Amino acid sequence: MGIKVVLVMFVGLGGGLAVGSGLVAFLTVLGIVPRLMQLSKTYSYIRSYEISIILGAVLGGWMNLRDASLSFPPFVLVPIGCMAGIFVGMLAAALTEVLNVLPILAKRVGFGEKIIIILMAIVFGKISGSLFHWIYYINH
C-alpha cells in the first residue's frame, strides 16, 4: 500500500469518527430522542428508535459512498416523503422543545396553553415541504 492510500484511510477514519461523535453528542447531550419519545408517547419503541438511528446512519453513509441512485414511481415516493417529513418535523419539534425555544415564544405571543398547535404546524409544514420536494422536484 502506498503512503497516499494510508493517508486517505487515516483522514477518512478521522473524519468519520469526528462526524459520528458529533451526531452522538447531538442526540445524547441535547436529549433529542427521549424528548421525541415523550412528545409522541412511544416509550415502548425505544429499541426501534435505536435500530433506526444506527441503520439510517450506516445505510446513509454506505449509499453516499456508493453514489447510489434509486428510482421509484410516484405512488411509492408519496409514503416515503410522508415518513421523511414526519421524521424531520418531529425531530425539529423535539429539538426546539429541548432548547426551550417554543415554550418561551408561545408565552410571549400568548399561546402558552396551545403549544401543541405550534408543534403540529411545524410537523405539517415539514410534511408538506417533503411531499413537495419528493413529488414535484423529483419528477421535473
- 41 burial via Cβ count (<10 Å: 0-12, 13-18, 19+): exposed
Distance CA 25, CA 113 (A): 31
61, 33, 58: which is closest to 47 by C-alpha? 33
pLDDT band at 39 (very low <50, low <70, confident <90, very high): confident
DSSP class of 2 = -
What is the model's pLDDT at position 139? Answer: 66
Give the pTM: 0.47
Angle at CA 125, nearest 5°, toward 123 and 126? 65
How many angstroms separate the CA atoms of 74 and 81, rounded?
10
- pLDDT bin (cut points 50, 70, 90) of residue 78 is confident
